[in-house]
Structure 1
Amino acid sequence: MSNLVKQGLALRDAVPQEEQETFAKIVISTPLSIIVPTFRECENIPRLIERVRALKEAHDISLELIFMDDQSRDGSVEVVAATGLDWVRILERDGERGLSPAVIDGFRLARNPVLVCMDCDLSHPPEKIPQLILALSSGQQFVIGSRYVPGGSTDDDWGFLRWLNSRIATLMARPLTSARDPMSGFFALRRADFEKARELNPVGYKIGLELIVKCGFENVAEVPIHFADRVYGESKLTLKEQLKYLQHIRRLYIHEFGNAMHFLQFLVVGASGTAVNLLVLSAILLTGLPEAVSLAGGIAVSLVTNFLLNRRFTFSYARDRNPWKQFAGFVGASAVGLAVNYGVALYLVSAVLPERPTSVYFAALAGVASGMLFNFLGNRYLVFRKRYIRR
């Protein structure tokens, strides 16, 4: 059965008879909770319930279906109540709105040992849930209903721009996971593994990727699905949500790669400071002021912008502290960094490098690198140090 999982888990009908029996036993004996985040999906809710009901009866599965609703006030609560099914419930959330927080809240309220997440717009086929469960039983930690493995597909009218957007988002997640479709909102995992996650703080709608990273999943399987376009209701995938994904992916990079990501952001901010320095220098020169004043003005303004950008992005965890103390520390670290820059360059050109015309340039570059590294370390561990150390 493990070979079948690695190949993407073919449809049940393609499995030999003896393996179908194993398949049925695993599915029947696995109680699961299906979590569905909703916002103004009253037209799709009864259709999804009917498809899950058919699945439940066909396989005799013990399950609960939980709709986590973000105060839709569109009749969703009444639709669920009208079904009279004791295994279906809807909870109206009072906290932070959003798909990812809704899923996390739903997982925490779930009663069963296996958790399944899916959308309410009928793009995810609930008929594939048994294959997800089968993959978990074969030793996988996280199972994705995937559009991009062999056998997976999307509707023909997806369009090039939507396809390109999905592919770019997937490519950006590649350093975090080798899964082909980590953007999928259709997945399954064990409750015990979910409870091991720490520091869950997803932004936007890519909760699956958040769980893969924060739970440290290494064994990720993908079941091929056909991803259908919604027929009823409106898509919640707006430009704002796509921008949130960039914020989310940045958070995950920092969580996964730590100081390397902080240093990269520090370098980017430094490069922007160079551009600001040159722009301000040029602007002041145009006013007719002396070069000395223009140089000082460029340095001063770039110092301020570097501080603000580093405080906002590179070391965003320290934004709640006194900015004036941080700015004083930033200036001090920068001043010492300049001294390190000059000292290293002077030492290399006078005592290490051979007497050649190009030696001074190599020394200067080494000095810049040393000063920048010192500035980063000084700011990271002194000016913007973290108050708490993770155990």
Structure 2
Amino acid sequence: MTELGAHRHKSRQATAPVCEAPLAEIFVNTKVSIVIPTYKEVENIPRILSKIDDLRTKSDLDCEVLFMDDDSRDGSVEAVRQSGFEWAQIVVRTKNPGLSAAVLDGFELAQNPVLVCMDCDLSHPVEKIPALILALSSGQEMVIGSRYVAGGSTDDDWGLFRWLNSRIATFLSRPLTSVRDPMSGFFALRKQDFKKAEDLNPIGYKIALELIVKCSFQNIGEVPIEFLDRVAGESKLTISQQLKFIKHLRRLYIHKFAESMYLIQFLVVGASGLLVNLATLTLFQVLGAKAVVSIAAGISVSMCSNFLLNRRFSFSYARDSNILRQFLSFILASMIGAAVNYAVALYLQSSVFLSDSSYSLQVSAIFGVAAGTGFNFIANRFFVFRKRFIRVPK
């Protein structure tokens, strides 16, 4: 193997020949950068360096190892420098902490054309790196060390909660990729393909999924691995990280299914606005206000809540713009939708069809909201919160 990147094959073909080639052949003319994000992993650093050194002695692997450390201050720097391995170095990061950000910084600093990412806690088998490289050489854009393909497994000590957590996360990512284990932190890709990524802005620790989506990878191989539980140090998987994953997933959905996601979020906000509308008009009705006043009050209050929620969630890319100007634009753009809403609700409330109903006002309001929603989405997406003059941070 003298070049990485001959023919393109389907993902499942990457797992077949991984153990058939001698190590020396796999690494001919292949230079690899192994990026390892760390935070308080001083106990594991000597262990993983020893395993990588063993791999180097068994092959012609030409590699550099970059520990991207989030300012652990636990002796990690000394552990790397005292190892005596000139091919290993540690970079202390003092800004923008986080596993995904650390990996991206490492990929940017990497000097070699092939990039490998893995954890420091020895949960990822170093001896599988040749399999990743061999599969990458067959034409895959990315190769993942997978727990969920034939031959892959997880540690017996994983526990039901952790297994369910991984499976649920994988299920939620299914619309984004058909890869069986996109949550894996053990993978390889070419630096030239990494450079093609657009608007990388991961949150949390699922960097592989970020790259799959943002690099638009289609041919992804999966090599079976046995995922082991850490033997030293503490897991970084917390409730906070789980919440960050949900936020990250939302970003990726918006990136891949932009207009559909804007509409879905707009409808969710609209549903909350409907509740606000009904609660307000019911309150005014209880206070003895006339129907025309109650309907108008419900529409007015729900418009304010919809504006704030749409600005914060549905069209969050525009929330740094002037809020007063946006609100005035929102009111102007919503006037026609509100007029349609009001006219339909008032007509139905006084119609024969609903005149005898105890909840005629509420039912009429629901139909009115539905009538104005379509127009309001178009006006908000392309007028109030338009992207044309919004610079999305990378």
Q: CA deviation at 1:370?
A: 5.6
| Alignment of structure 1 residues 15-94 onto 2, 5 Å | 15=20, 20-21=21-22, 24-94=24-94
Q: How does 1:130-141 map to 2 (within 5 A)?
A: 130-141=130-141
> Which residue of 2 is the match for residue 374 of structure 1?
375
SS, match of residue 157 in structure 1: coil
Listed as ranges, the gaps of 5+ residues in structure 1 are 347-356
Residue 4 of structure 2: aligned partner: none
Q: What letter matches 1:322 in structure 2? A: N
Q: Quote the Cα distance in structure 2 between the aligned partners of 1:370 and 1:277.
A: 14
Deviation at 1:334, TM superposition (A): 1.7
2:280–2:298: 8 Å Cα contact kept in structure 1? Answer: yes
Structure 1 residue 102: Cα displacement: 0.4
Note the alpha carbon deviations across 1:210-262, whole angstroms, 9 max, x for none: 00011010000000000001111111111011100111111111111111110
How much does 1:26 deviate? 2.9
Q: Distance in 1 between matches of 2:299 and 2:151?
A: 58
Distance 1:85 1:388 in 2: 47
SS in structure 2 at match of 1:223: strand
Q: Deviations over 1:66-91 (max 9, x none)?
A: 00000000000000010121100000
**1:295-352: CA deviation from partner (whole Å, max 9, x where unpaired):** 4433322211111110000110111111111111112222211345678999xxxxxx
* AA aligned opposite 1:71: D
Contact 1:253-1:261 within 8 A present in 2 as well? yes
Give me the whole-angstrom Cα distance separating, in 2, the residues matched to 1:324 and 1:106: 42
Provide the alpha-carbon RMSD of the alignment.
2.8
The Cα shift of 1:158 comes to 1.4
5+ residue gaps in structure 2? 1-6, 347-352, 355-363
Q: Which structure 2 residues correspond to residues 251-270 of structure 1 after superposition, within 5 A? A: 251-270=251-270
TM superposition score normalised by structure 1: 0.88
Q: Which residue of 1 aligns with 2:152?
A: 152
Q: Indicate the residue corresponding to 1:383 in structure 2.
A: 384
Helix, strand or coil at the partner of 2:136: helix
State the number of aligned residues. Answer: 372
Cα deviation for residue 6 of structure 1 reads 2.6
Which stretch of structure 1 is more off in the superposition, 275-284 or 138-147? 275-284
Paired residue type of 1:290: A
Residue 9 of structure 1 corresponds to: 15
Change (3 A) 1:4 1:182: closer
Partner Cα separation in structure 2 for residue 7 and residue 153 of structure 1: 19
SS at match of 2:58: helix
User: 1:78 and 1:124 mapped to 2: Cα distance?
Assistant: 23
Q: Provide the C-alpha distance between the structure 1 equivalents of 2:309 and 2:318, rounded to a whole number of angstroms.
A: 12
**Residue aligned with 2:372, SS:** helix
Contact 2:274–2:366 (8 Å) recurs in 1: no
Aligned to 2:108: 108
What secondary structure sits across from 1:67 in the alignment?
Answer: strand
Q: Which structure has the highest helix share of the two?
A: 1
Distance 1:255 1:12, change over 3 A: closer
What residue in structure 1 maps to residue 240 of structure 2? 240
| TM-score normalised by structure 2 residue count | 0.87
Shift, 1:366, TM fit: 9.1
Cα separation, 2, equivalents of 1:86 and 1:196: 30
Match of residue 321 from structure 2: 321
Deviates more, 1:157-166 or 1:49-58: 157-166
For the 8 Å contact 1:38–1:67, the answer to whether it is kept is: yes
Return structure 1 stretches of 4+ with deviation > 6 angstroms: 1-5, 342-346, 363-367
1:175 matched to which residue of 2? 175
State how far apart, in whole Å, the 1-side matches of 2:48 and 2:184 are: 18
Q: State which drifts further: 298-307 or 76-85.
A: 298-307
Q: What is the aligned partner in structure 1 of residue 358 from structure 2?
A: none
1:245 to 1:71, Cα distance in 2 relative to 1, 3 A: same
Give the counterpart letter for 1:9 in structure 2: T
Separation in structure 1 between the aligned mates of residue 115 and residue 255 of structure 2, nearest angstrom: 24
Structure 1 residues 5, 284: closer, same or farther in 2, change over 3 A? closer
1:55 to 1:275, Cα distance in 2 relative to 1, 3 A: same
Q: Distance in 2 between matches of 1:5 and 1:270?
A: 41
Q: SS of 2:189's equivalent? A: strand
> Shift in Å at residue 284 of structure 1?
4.6
Please give the per-residue CA displacement for 1:149-172, whole angstroms capped at 9, x wherever unaligned. Answer: 000000112122211111111111
